[in-house]
Structure 1
Amino acid sequence: MSGTIRRRDFFVETRDGVRIAIREVFDEAADVEARPMILMHGTRIPGLSEYDLDVPHGSLAADLAVRGHRCYIVDARGFGRSERPAEMDLPPTPTKPLVRTLEIVRDLEAAVDHLRDASGYSSVGLFGWGVGGTCVMAFAALWPEKASHLVLYNMVYGAAGGHPKFCHGSQWEDPARPGHFNRPQFGNYTFNAVDMLTRDWDRQIPIADKAAWRDPAIVKAFEQALIDGDPTAKDRDPPTYRSPNGMLEDLFLMGIGHKLVNANQVYAKVMIVRPEFDTLSQKDDMDALTADLINAEEVFCWEPGDTTHYILFDRPEHGRDAMLAEMEAFLAR
């Protein structure tokens, strides 16, 4: 990692008065000044866990920074270091999930406006992981003049329905109210085990020796960042971290065929990334997304073979280097 990489943590306030944590990552010695970038996390993982681990090949933000991009890593309300709804200091309740995807667009608005002012750029690029991709697409539909490039990584759109995991009859559906999220079981927020995502990752790696595919230091740093992202995590044994369930409810709804936003409202350049072994993003859903992007300035679909959902954390030769190269070429257009 470059010795000239700099990090700064601060807060911005949304139009509805919520304090949102931002980490700025930039390289003060970068040879060029490239498009500034917003990095938006997914359903249950705060931003630093996904985009800025302090291990080799663990920070997308740092890799973009050395290429000249000033990056803002966003923690949505209720996640990581950002302000949490007061209900998250109480035991979970079987009520409506906290922090829906479209609420997070307010957090993105505050982050994007700050980055535009700080960088002097009138529009920025936005990278969204999973349902974070849905968030950045919704932002781009509302403020097309502020979004130049979208990178939709492991995206869920909601056009196709029939998702193999988030589907009718799954644990996510209320058995007493078909078509509704299972609020009696999952409620307003969740305590997550820190190794939950690593288990899914292991299932996607197609070889027995997981360390040959993925550096064990990445896993250790990833799980520690999840603990560090919740000040109450160590109050429980084993440690767990909290996340609001609004994005999870939206994921279920998109899985059964509900769109949260129509892609025909997007005018930015769009890159869609769907790794071969990913189990979240579905080909028929991405085909429908591509068909709906009728007003996008450009649509580039990249479906790398022999890669997992966690391509950003896999060893460079297992897709990470190729991902960075493809994305940099896209952002330069």
Structure 2
Amino acid sequence: MTQTYSTAIRPDVDSLVSDRFTLDSDTPGISLHLRHRRLADLETFNADNTLVMVHGASYSSGSLYDVRYNGMSFIDYLALSGLSVYALDVRGYGHSTRPSEMSLPAEDNLPLCGTEIGIRDLNQVVDWVREKHQLERVQIFGMSWGGSVAGAFTSRYNDKVNKLVVLAPQWLNSGPMRIDNGGKIGAYRLIPVSQGKANWLAAAPAEHRDGLIPEGWFEAWAAQTLAEDPQSQNSTPAVLRAVNGPVQDVRNFWAVGKPFYRPQDVTRPVLLVHGEWDADVPLRIMSDYFTSFTRAPVRRWVEIGESTHMMLMEKNRLQAYRAVSDFYLRQEPEE
């Protein structure tokens, strides 16, 4: 399949500068990994072009946002559009420190690293970025559980946020949730990543599954995702460890009609991005979420057709890429 790009954004990743940072968290012995990408000639950093991203409940920022297809990842696209992008791995994910409990049998400990931990880690990174560039506010992005982290963070720290984008965030849902298989849960769960393609495609109608994921991308994504867990190859099939705090939060909040945070407390511009075939966060629950942002000065919803929860790695991903970058970089007209 031939991939086309807008004239404004080309997959010229050679024009990008890529850095990695390791920051201290608020917990001794726990460090946070941060990847950074920007145009080489970008020299002025402000609230409009400085972005901090946080990932979902199962996969790191590198897995969700930085696997390249046809030479370009989501982070690349955002950087090529003029954004200075910082993508956080919350503790327990990616290249950030994994708590020592993750080296023990999962059943030996309670679920690790829930949403409160995600908010603390995001706050640590946001403050570091703000201090580094002498900024009052930055842009914020979160997907899935990361949308919950980003939304809750913004509801508490509006003064640090320029605009908020949430892609398929968790919300009140009394129906079945694919992240929670029921039963007792321990500190973490094991995800057989390479065997997940059928589950990914199952969200789409059967007649639309062929071609939904660009050829070869799933395999590249699975390999890169597993490579971020140093213990992934210790079993057959290879498995990724993912903390269970977000699953416990589903049980304590979203599944019992109890919001973890109040969207009404967000006073910054908000964009909601959602996919037509999202089986993890169904369309039926998004309307209530969207209309809850009663104090946001700008409130938008972009629905991406023929897309699942993993839209950022599917055939219609560029629609989501453009919606996100345009929202951050477009100046809102004055009244």
TM value normalised by structure 2: 0.87
The answer to whether the aligner puts 1:240 opposite 2:252 as a matched pair is no
For structure 2, the residue ranges without an aligned partner over 5 or more in a row are 1-10
- Write the deviation string for residues 22-42 of structure 1: whole angstroms up to 9, x where unpaired: 111112145986521112110
For structure 1, the residue ranges without an aligned partner over 5 or more in a row are 173-181
* Contact kept in structure 2, 1:156 and 1:285, CA below 8 Å: no
Q: In structure 1, give the amino acid aligned to 2:177.
A: K
Deviation at 1:73, TM superposition (A): 1.1
In structure 2, do the counterparts of structure 1 residues 282 and 202 end up closer, same or farther at CA, with 3 Å as the change threshold? closer
Alignment of 1:222-241 (within 5 A): 222-241=221-240
Aligned to 1:9: 20
Once superposed, what is the RMSD of the aligned Cα atoms? 2.2
In structure 2, do the counterparts of structure 1 residues 258 and 195 end up closer, same or farther at CA, with 3 Å as the change threshold? farther
* Contact kept in structure 2, 1:30 and 1:65, CA below 8 Å: no
The CA distance in 2 between the partners of 1:320 and 1:71, in whole Å, is 18
Q: In structure 2, give the amino acid aligned to 1:27.
A: L
Q: In structure 1, give the amino acid aligned to 2:164.
A: L
- What's the secondary structure of 1:63's corresponding residue? helix
Alignment of 1:229-308 (within 5 A): 229-252=228-251, 253-308=253-308
In structure 2, do the counterparts of structure 1 residues 79 and 291 end up closer, same or farther at CA, with 3 Å as the change threshold? same
The CA distance in 1 between the partners of 2:290 and 2:211, in whole Å, is 34
Aligned to 2:66: 52
The answer to whether the aligner puts 1:198 opposite 2:197 as a matched pair is yes
Aligned to 1:321: 318
The CA distance in 1 between the partners of 2:106 and 2:322, in whole Å, is 43
Deviation at 1:144, TM superposition (A): 0.8
Deviation at 1:204, TM superposition (A): 2.8
The answer to whether the aligner puts 1:126 opposite 2:140 as a matched pair is yes
Alignment match of 1:164 (pick from 168, 176, 199): 176
Q: In structure 2, give the amino acid aligned to 1:14.
A: S
Aligned to 1:41: 55
Regions of 4+ moved over 4 Å: 30-34, 207-211
The CA distance in 1 between the partners of 2:263 and 2:194, in whole Å, is 34
* Contact kept in structure 2, 1:156 and 1:281, CA below 8 Å: yes
Deviation at 1:297, TM superposition (A): 1.9
The CA distance in 1 between the partners of 2:246 and 2:72, in whole Å, is 25
The CA distance in 1 between the partners of 2:317 and 2:98, in whole Å, is 33
Counting aligned pairs with the same residue, the percent is 23
- What's the secondary structure of 2:35's corresponding residue? strand
Deviation at 1:56, TM superposition (A): 2.2
In structure 2, do the counterparts of structure 1 residues 210 and 148 end up closer, same or farther at CA, with 3 Å as the change threshold? same
Aligned to 2:150: 136
* Contact kept in structure 2, 1:92 and 1:188, CA below 8 Å: yes
Q: Provide the aligned length of Structure 1 versus Structure 2.
A: 315
* Contact kept in structure 1, 2:101 and 2:109, CA below 8 Å: no
Aligned to 2:6: none
The CA distance in 2 between the partners of 1:32 and 1:282, in whole Å, is 40
- What's the secondary structure of 1:93's corresponding residue? helix
* Contact kept in structure 1, 2:36 and 2:84, CA below 8 Å: yes
Alignment of 1:36-185 (within 5 A): 36-56=50-70, 59-93=73-107, 95-158=109-172, 161-165=173-177, 171-172=181-182, 182=183, 184=184
* Contact kept in structure 2, 1:141 and 1:267, CA below 8 Å: yes
In structure 2, do the counterparts of structure 1 residues 256 and 200 end up closer, same or farther at CA, with 3 Å as the change threshold? farther
- What's the secondary structure of 1:195's corresponding residue? helix
The CA distance in 1 between the partners of 2:175 and 2:241, in whole Å, is 25
TM value normalised by structure 1: 0.87
Q: In structure 2, give the amino acid aligned to 1:16.
A: T
The CA distance in 2 between the partners of 1:6 and 1:163, in whole Å, is 44
In structure 2, do the counterparts of structure 1 residues 171 and 206 end up closer, same or farther at CA, with 3 Å as the change threshold? closer
Aligned to 1:178: none
The CA distance in 2 between the partners of 1:223 and 1:251, in whole Å, is 25
- Write the deviation string for residues 143-199 of structure 1: whole angstroms up to 9, x where unpaired: 1111111111011122xx3223369xx732xxxxxxxxx3x3x31111110135422
- Write the deviation string for residues 244-264 of structure 1: whole angstroms up to 9, x where unpaired: 100122234413322111111
The CA distance in 2 between the partners of 1:109 and 1:31, in whole Å, is 24
The CA distance in 1 between the partners of 2:220 and 2:193, in whole Å, is 11
* Contact kept in structure 2, 1:166 and 1:255, CA below 8 Å: no
Q: In structure 2, give the amino acid aligned to 1:164.
A: P
- What's the secondary structure of 1:162's corresponding residue? coil
Deviation at 1:211, TM superposition (A): 5.4
